[in-house]
Structures are given as structure tokens and as C-alpha cells.
Amino acid sequence: MLEVAIIVCLAISFFLVLRHFPETAEGAVAGEILNNERKVGFMSKFFERFKKAPKQENVAGIEDAIAEGQKEVVNPLQINQARIEYKETDPEVAKLLYESENAFLQNDLRETEDLALEAIGKDKKCAQAYVIMGRVAFSRGSFADAKEAYDTALKCDKENAEAYFGLGMVKLRDENLSDGVEYLQKAVTIDRGNAEWYFELGKAFMEVRQFAKAAKALKRAASLDMENKEYKELASEAEDKQRTHSGIYRKAR
């Protein structure tokens, strides 16, 4: 009789479990769905916030950061070229000279001067840095400072063609034509490939009425820069004056 009672109790318990199982399963499934919906809702909000982010500002910020980092970057080939051109053994100084020259081309005189001074701070005998300082001073109309800078450059390098050219331009500015011509001639003797220098020398020769020398210098300038009409026109004018002057001289004899 006891065994029958136990079997009956077990049967009733099993029945009750089966009766409540669907509700439990449905609750578990519902809970899982709710959790998934919450996760999806969170991710949707996350991506929605990302979409609403100011993309343009992010891009601009990245570009600014890249530009800032690039300020210190100079191609090694350019540094090596600067070392050769400016006779500078220190690559760091050559880099400063290269950057200073670029700043001058952009008409940023303050940056040009700062970089040249930094180069001088690292190498007090850097002739090209003094040349750049002279160029800046001349551009500002400080001709005495320009002369001092060019003189210092020549003390560092007696064969610096641009220093001679700069001094020649200072002398011409001071109306010291004979000294101006002399310095310009030294410049083109050292560097025969600069059209502008020959042009300035030709004009100086015109001022002192040495038309044959003027024509020769101006024709050289025109041959070096064949696209420059001003060089050609002034060379032609110098030749005309040379012929006229020679004819007058022959008649006078």
C-alpha cells in the first residue's frame, strides 16, 4: 500500500511540472527576446551617435595634425642637395637653409630670418645663412645691414657668388657704379649660369655707357633665359647703342 502511495505522489508531481513548463519556457524565450531588443537598441543608439558626429571637423583635425607633423619632414635628397649647393657638411644646418630659402620664396621674411639665425646658431661660419640675412635686409630696405651680412658671408667663404652679387646691388643702390660693376663681375665669374646676375650687370654697364660689355652681358642673360622678353629687348637696345656710339667715335676721330 505504501508503494502505491509513493507512485501516486510521483505521478502528481510530474503532472504539475508538465503543466507549468510551457509558461516557464515562454518566459525564458520572452526574456531572451527582450535582452536582444535591448542590445539592438543600444547598438543602434551608438551608431546613430557616430553618424551624427561632425565628420568634417574630424577630417580637418586629422589634416591639421598631419600638416603639423610634416613641418619637420624634408626629403633626404633635398637635404643632400642643399649640403652640396651651400657647401654645408652638417645635414641639420643644410635642412634649415633649405627651409629658409623656401620661406623666402613665399615672401615670409620673418620665417626666413628666424631659420637663417637658427642655422648661424649651429654653425657660425655658415656663409649661406649670412647671405640669406643680407637678402632679407635688402628686401626690407636696410642696406647697411645687408652690406654687413654679405661682408660676413665673404669672410666665411671668399668664393660665395651670391654675396658678391648682393654687395654689387648694394653698391649700385648707393650709386657707387664702379664698385657695383666690379662686384657683379666677380659674381658672374664664379657662377656663369645665373641669368638675373648677367642682366643686372648688363644694366650697370649701360649706366656707365660701356655698351659693348652691356650687350655681351645682356645677350648672355637672354641665352640663359630664352623666355624672358625683357632680356632680349634690352640686349637689342644695348647693341643699337653700341653701334651708334662706335659710329660717333669713329667720326670724331
Domain 167-253: which CATH class?
Answer: mainly alpha
240's grid cell? 643699337
Dig out the grid coordinates for 157 from the structure. 667663404
For residue 80, the model assigns a pLDDT of 75
Tens-digit pLDDT profile for residues 95-104: 999 999 999 9
CATH number of 75-158: 1.25.40.10
Give the tens place of pLDDT for each residue, 213-250. 999 999 999 999 999 999 999 999 999 999 987 765 55
Closest Cα to residue 127, out of 94, 173, 168?
94
Can you list the alpha helix ranges (DSSP code H) found in 191-226? 195-207, 211-224
Q: Where in the chain do CATH 1.25.40.10 domains reside?
A: 75-158, 167-253
For the chain, give the percent of residues with pLDDT over 70: 68
Rounded-to-integer distance, Cα 109 and Cα 136, Å: 6
pLDDT at 1: 55
Grid coordinates belonging to 32? 531572451
* Number of residues written out for the chain: 253
Work out the angle at residue 121's Cα, subtended by the Cα atoms of residues 117 and 122, and round it to the nearest 5 degrees.
120
Q: How far apart are CA 243 and CA 253, in angstroms?
A: 16
